Each structure stands twice: as structure tokens, then as C-alpha cells.
Amino acid sequence: MTVPTRPVVELTGVTKTYGDVVALRCAGVVIRRGELLAVVGPSGSGKSTMLNIMGTLDRPSAGTVRIDGHDVGRLGDRELSALRAGTIGFVFQQFHLAPGVPALDNVADGLLYSGRTRAERRRLAERAMRRVGLGHRLHHEPHRLSGGEKQRVAIARAVLGDPPLLLADEPTGALDSRSGAVVMELLHQLHEAGTTVVVITHDRDIAGSLPREVRLRDGGIEHDSDPAPDPESVPGAALPAARLPGEAVR
């Protein structure tokens, strides 16, 4: 018997406006667990808005957002923070590493509010650093790392808690082609290990190299190379949402 799989992201009729500006227009996307896909489009197409909504960093003006089975619109701020911490890893173009802080501790700080001891945070951070091929750079400060190494440190921090969903925003945008290729290979490896990876990019070559491409233009979805079924018909869509970290069993 095949166990139903809950989609990790479901956007249904999602619109986001800022005043008179429509940044995202009636977007509908279902992302199944274990997928690797690109959200691609030119500047101003709505990519960053979709990233922020998928990552629960922003709420839609209209429509429904479900992350790992949870209706985001029904969650309070504390529940939303718990969902984000346990489910989503973020990788940004500009790395966001603290200057003067060794790479190991930059990664370990991703668990700063997890309740774990410093020793445990550093142990998990070292494992994550070795996972991305940087076991020899544990004590290097950011200014001693190449751009590609900085991005791999950022990826190690993002996957530190083994989140099922990784959102990578222009992960190669600040890198040369060789470093960018290394980072993309690492994202492929994480996908092969079971992580759902969404790459937000303006690079059509990168988008075309991934199994699925969701193309945005003027705030709307222009094309989806592998559209998922309607959320109501997805096997497992009716399954109860996964418990949030710290949530009691009912």
C-alpha cells in the first residue's frame, strides 16, 4: 500500500497587493514533497513576493497558503514562527554571515533559539559543514572564504535542522560560473537526499536545467512545466497537518 504524501506547499488563488501595486495575482501552485524546481522570471515578475509567501515571511492579501498541511492564515505569530523554524530553510543571495564570526558559529547560530546547548549546536553545525564539503573551513571567518564557500556556509545553516523545504533565493547570483555550478550541484545533492528544493532565479539556464519550471511574469504564473493537481485532489491533501514543534498531541 502506498502511503499518501502531503504537499509541502499549496498556494490557492494567492494575490498580494502593496497599495495599488499587484505584486502577485491569483497564483496557484502545488509543490510535492521531494520536488526540485525553479521559480523563474525577470525583475518585478513576483518571484520575491512568492518566496516571501511560501516562506511565511509575508501573508497574502487574498487566497490560501498551506505549508506542510497547515493553513497559514489560521496560525498566530508564535505558531507561524514554530512552523517556519521546523519546516523551512532559507538561502539568500547575499549570504547574511556575521563578520568576524567563524563559519562554524555562523552555522550554529541558526539554532540559537532552539533550546539546545552551545556544545550541541556546534556539534550539529560541524556535521552540516562537513555535509556541504567545508569540514576544512570550520574556523575560518567570512572574509577568509570565497563567495562559493560563503554560500555553502549559508546552505549548511539553512539545512541544520533538516527542514523538509529549502527556499534558495538567487543562490548563484553573487557567484562566478564555477562557484555557481558547485552550489547548484550541492542543491541537487540535497534534493537527492530527500529535501524539497525551490530555487528562485532570473537565470533561464538554471531554470531549464531543473525538472520543473514555474515561470512568472507581471505577477502571474505564465507557465508551469509540471503543474500539480488541484490541491483538493492531491493524494494525502486531506491528511491532518503535521504537528508544529512543541505542539501537544490532541
Answer left, alpha or beta for residue 84, where phi above 0 means left and psi between -120 and 50 means alpha: alpha
The pTM score is: 0.86
Is the pLDDT at 232 greater than 90? The verdict is: no
Q: What confidence score (pLDDT) does residue 244 get?
A: 58
- Whole-number Å distance between alpha carbons of 26 and 35: 22
Nearest 5°: phi and psi at 28? -130, 120
Question: 175-191: per-residue pLDDT in tens?
Answer: 999 999 999 999 999 99
Arithmetic mean of pLDDT over the chain = 88
**Confidence class for position 136, pLDDT limits 50, 70, 90:** very high
Report yes or no: 206 and 168 within 8 Å, Cβ to Cβ. Answer: no
Question: In the predicted model, what is the mean pLDDT of residues 8-26?
Answer: 95
Strands (E), 36-85: 36-40, 62-67, 70-71
Residues 32-43 have a mean pLDDT of: 94
CA angle in degrees (0–180, nearest 5) for 57-127-193: 70
Record: fold of 9-233: Rossmann fold (3.40.50)
Q: How many CA atoms lie within 13 A of 100 on its CB side?
A: 0
For a pLDDT cut of 70, what percent of the chain falls above it? 88
pLDDT band, very low/low/confident/very high, at 237 (cuts 50, 70, 90): very low
